[in-house]
Amino acid sequence: MRTLAVALMAAFAFALLAACGGGGVAQPAGSIKVSMSDYKFDPSTISTPSGKVVFYLVNGGTVSHDLVIRDGSGNRVKASELVSAGDSIVFTVDSLAAGTYTIFCDQQGHEALGMKGTLTAT
């Protein structure tokens, strides 16, 4: 019985992994789609109303990427989770103040390679 239980657990874990690895979540209505690749964001210039902002991050690259929002003073406003290659996630900022921000990928060297852009909230 014990062996069967372990086998079932392994099968369940594998099914979960398979579900997660299949390209991520669907795009929520009203979200801003940002494609990530090695090494840029598309679009790299984004405008949005201030307040709640929902991003749909799609990593079409071959390495993991994230998206960090930095204000004009250099402070981090919010950072997304890491998005694995081929995966997609929803990244929600609950209350973005009006202003001009930099977006960049916080993975080592990616910003310097051009993985950055401008986010304007009005």
SS3 per-residue string spanning 31-88: CEEEEEECCEEECCEEEECCEEEEEEEEECCCCCECCEEECCCCCEEEECCCECCCCE
Q: Using the rule CB under 5 A, is 116 a contact of Cu ion?
A: no
Judged by CB, which is closer to Cu ion: 70, or 110?
A: 110
In the complex, the smallest distance separating the C-beta of residue 81 from Cu ion, rounded to whole angstroms, is: 13
Q: Using the rule CB under 5 A, is 65 a contact of Cu ion?
A: yes
Distance (Å, rounded) from C-alpha 100 to C-alpha 105?
Answer: 17
Q: Using the rule CB under 5 A, is 70 a contact of Cu ion?
A: no
Q: Using the rule CB under 5 A, is 35 a contact of Cu ion?
A: no
Q: Using the rule CB under 5 A, is 107 a contact of Cu ion?
A: yes
